[in-house]
Structure 1
Amino acid sequence: MKIEIQDILSKWKLYTLVNDNGMKVSFLDFGGIITNISVPDQTNTIENVVLGFKNYADYEKNSNYFGAIIGRVAGRIQDASFTIQNQTFLLEANEGDHHLHGGSGGYHQVIWRASPFQTDDTAGVKLTHKSLGGEGGYPGTIEVAVTYTLTNSNELILDYDGKSDETTVLTMTNHSYFNLSGNLAATIHNHHVTMESNEFVELDTRLIPTGNKINVSNTPFDFRTERKLGDGINSISAQNKVANSGYDHYFIFNQNKQQSIRVKEETSGRVMKIKTTQPGVVMYTANTLVEGLDLSEGKSRPYLGVCFETQASPASLHHAGFPPVILKAHELYEKQTVFSFGIER
């Protein structure tokens, strides 16, 4: 195991974790942005399986949130406002009338304090940040930490921690776009996904949750048995069409099942498994990714990656019955998501 540190643009640092199998994970202290995850395929060819910019300077205007830590609240907050304890808080409306991914000054735009660590079997970096009460309109001064740990079992462990001096809202995630074909060899149409979820959240034409949950049975949203992402991308289903032909929906995990996701890309043989303590996941198939951005392995285009944003649901701020994002004063926020990589011939 080893950790490499590189200065970037005279203001950021790039941390690279390397395990004994040659798996490599690189990320910036700016936004905690994961720029590269390199893992072997079935021929033992090691390639990058996430989208990232060719030029680091482009991360300053990272409107696609490539690889970034998202917070305080991942996802869309309806009407850029919420009420807790009979007090209404107004946030930045940075997507139409709504608030997206913590706003323009969210966690994807701050330089985190980094503390590397290493053991015989792991290498990692703990990233910490303090945001003051009132920043972005959010109540409470909150101290958060996100720890990236790479193991010799080809696991990337993301641990999220937080504590606020006032009752507030918090649900963090990582916004990496995965493409298991390696070095962007193909779109994600033929990625096979399995996920234990009986329900997903209905969206309106603004991509805001309506408050309705839809049973996945007999829909392109049923991933309880293996399904290709292309099924939804090419579907005429109203909910796939609302999301600009694809998926951008919150799936609620079945609570009596292990909360996990499995993704396979047959050509490379790569398999990614995701285990999480979060209650659900937003799966986004890069439906609106613009064409022509300079990425590390080529030009961007729609459907070039898939995000698995494990999180609670900001819809809970306006509708009952959704996994909550409220964090009470002095209560500890502790969540974990583990991405593990292997091959299947």
Structure 2
Amino acid sequence: MKKYFGRIMGKDIFIFELKDKDLKINILNYGAIIKNILFKGKNTILGFNTLEDYINDTLYTGAFVGRNAGRISNASFKINNKSYFLEKNNENINLHSGSYCLSKKVFEYNLISNKELELKLVEEENQFPGNVDIKIHFKIKNNGLFINILATTDKDTIFNPTYHIYFNFNKNLNKDIGNHYLKINSDFYLELNKDSLPTGKIFSVNSTLDFNKFKRISKNLNDDFLKDQKGYDHPYLLSNSIINAEILNRDQKIHMKLKTDLPSLIFYSGNFIQENYYANNSSERCGFCLEPQFYPDFINKFNKNYILKKGEIYKRNISYSFF
């Protein structure tokens, strides 16, 4: 189903509805935004009711973030010995690609069926090198949302997107998410400095960061270890486990499993959500994100094999299954 939502840059924006069993997903062709994920009639993510709110949003709500998700130190990098300089939109850092973020682009669409949608965009060269041809395929099946991301480029470039969905399984979406139980199948994380940039060092998870067994999010949220980030905003290194992360809300009896073939997962506990941002009386921490992606700042600190090269195909998957 397709429903008109508004107009921007001379282009119509629609809500596309995908349905299967107890799951219903609403997706926009603006920013490839996932607007709603309803399980058994209960919305499980944060979002807005108007296109204007999404246009003015500064928290990347439900958005497809790219070309690069996360931070790039000094807002600069080198590829093939050529330097590239990006917008500094977070102190001396480029965060989520700045004003060039894909979350503010209008995608072409193909509604294949009431269970499948494909969004397409050719992003021309900007501060990042190369023209990138992007396809996002959504399929809903057996109460799961399966996302396949494909991309090619005509010049070696960074392509490191993620989905920035704020989850909240509470009956009242304005409520703090500290009561959720989280499990992340990971034994290692990337150390962060005070600017939330990786130092390049990898450590075993400590008691604060260890979510290998279900743990209430609020349990260690005020630990001194998390003060620099004002909460969790840490990259976990993923293995090839069957399930990479799980969320459980025991009050609402909602259980979600996340699976991806990307190498890291950022757990962000909504540290910079302001009161009343999403609605009157919404709390400061009314949503949290699980963001699959390459290692943050990999271009400057880690393996440059993550560079998308001319002639190669980026192909990655993310799935969310509800129980």
TM-score by length of 1: 0.88
Q: Partner of 2:136 in structure 1?
A: 146
Please list the CA deviations of residues 137-188 of structure 1 after superposition, one character each: whole Å capped at 9, or x if unmatched: 111111011112111x100111110000111111111111001124416321
Aligned mate of 1:243, from 217, 223, 229: 229
1:287 corresponding residue in structure 2: 271
Q: Is the 8 A contact 1:7 1:14 kept in 2?
A: yes
* Separation in structure 2 between the aligned mates of residue 7 and residue 324 of structure 1, nearest angstrom: 41
In 2: Cα distance, 1:341 partner to 1:248 partner: 24
1:210-235, CA deviations, whole angstroms, 9 ceiling, x for partnerless residues? 11222104x21011111111123222
The ranges of structure 1 where at least 4 consecutive aligned residues each deviate by more than 6 angstroms after the TM superposition are none
Query: Is the CA contact 2:16–2:27 (under 8 Å) kept in the aligned structure 1?
Result: yes
The change in CA–CA distance for 1:318 and 1:259 in structure 2 (over 3 A counts) is farther
Shift in Å at residue 336 of structure 1? 0.3
Alpha-carbon separation, structure 2, partners of 1:74 and 1:254: 20
Query: Of 228, 233, 237, which aligns to 1:252?
Result: 237
Picking from 313, 318, 321, the partner of 1:337 is 318
| 1:312 counterpart residue number | 294
Cα distance, 1:18–1:182 mapped onto 2, change above 3 Å: farther
In the aligned structure 1, how far is the partner of 2:148 from the partner of 2:100?
22
* Equivalent residue in structure 2 for 1:132, among 101, 124, 128: 124
Mapped contact 1:126–1:147 kept (Cα < 8 A): yes
CA shift for structure 1 position 84: 1.4
Structure 1 residues 190-339: aligned runs within 5 Å: 190-217=179-206, 219-237=207-225, 240-244=226-230, 246-255=231-240, 257-258=241-242, 260-295=244-279, 299-320=281-302, 325-339=306-320
CA contact (8 A) 2:175 2:283 kept: no
Q: 2:26 maps to which residue?
A: 26
Instruction: Describe the shift of the 1:235–1:323 C-alpha distance in structure 2 as closer, same or farther (beyond 3 A).
Output: farther
Deviation at 1:299, TM superposition (A): 4.1
Percent identity (aligned): 28
Q: Tell me the distance in 1 between the aligned counterparts of 2:35 and 2:227.
A: 30
Give distance in 1, aligned partners of 2:215 and 2:120.
38
Q: Would you say the 8 A contact 1:130–1:141 is kept in 2?
A: yes
The answer to whether the 8 Å contact 2:238/2:264 transfers is yes
CA shift, 1:189, in A, is 0.7
Task: Name 1:43's counterpart in structure 2.
Answer: none
Distance of 2:282 and 2:50 partners within structure 1? 13
**How big is the alpha-carbon RMSD for the aligned residues of Structure 1 and Structure 2?**
1.6
Note the C-alpha offset of 1:259: 5.2
The amino acid of 2:210's aligned partner reads D
Mark the runs of 5 or more structure 2 residues left unpaired by the alignment.
none
Count of residue pairs brought into register by the alignment: 319
Aligned to 1:168: 157
Kindly state the Cα deviation for residue 315 of structure 1 after the two structures are TM-superposed: 2.2
Query: Is the CA contact (8 Å cut-off) linking 2:152 and 2:310 kept in structure 1?
Result: yes
Query: How far apart are residue 324 of structure 1 and its match?
Result: 5.0
Residue in structure 2 matched with residue 38 of structure 1 by the alignment: 38
Matched, 1:76 2:65: no
Distance between the aligned counterparts of 1:156 and 1:38, measured in 2? Answer: 11
Distance 1:332 1:93 in 2: 29
Matches of 2:44 and 2:149 in 1, distance apart? Answer: 23
What is the TM-score of this pair, normalised by structure 2?
0.94
C-alpha distance in 1 between matches for 2:229 and 2:103:
23
Say whether the 8 Å CA contact 1:232–1:247 is kept in structure 2.
no
Amino acid aligned to 1:124? E
Secondary structure in 2 matching 1:304: coil
Rounded to whole Å, the distance in 2 between the matches of 1:335 and 1:172 is: 10
**Residues 1:50 and 2:50 aligned together:** no
Which of 94, 109, 112 aligns to 2:107? It is 112
CA shift in 2, pair 1:323/1:273, >3 Å: farther
Q: Say whether 1:63 aligns with 2:47.
A: no
The aligned residue for residue 13 of structure 1 is 14
Aligned partners of 2:132 and 2:50: how far apart in 1?
32
The gaps in structure 1 that reach 5 residues or longer are: 41-45
3-state SS of paired residue (2:177): coil
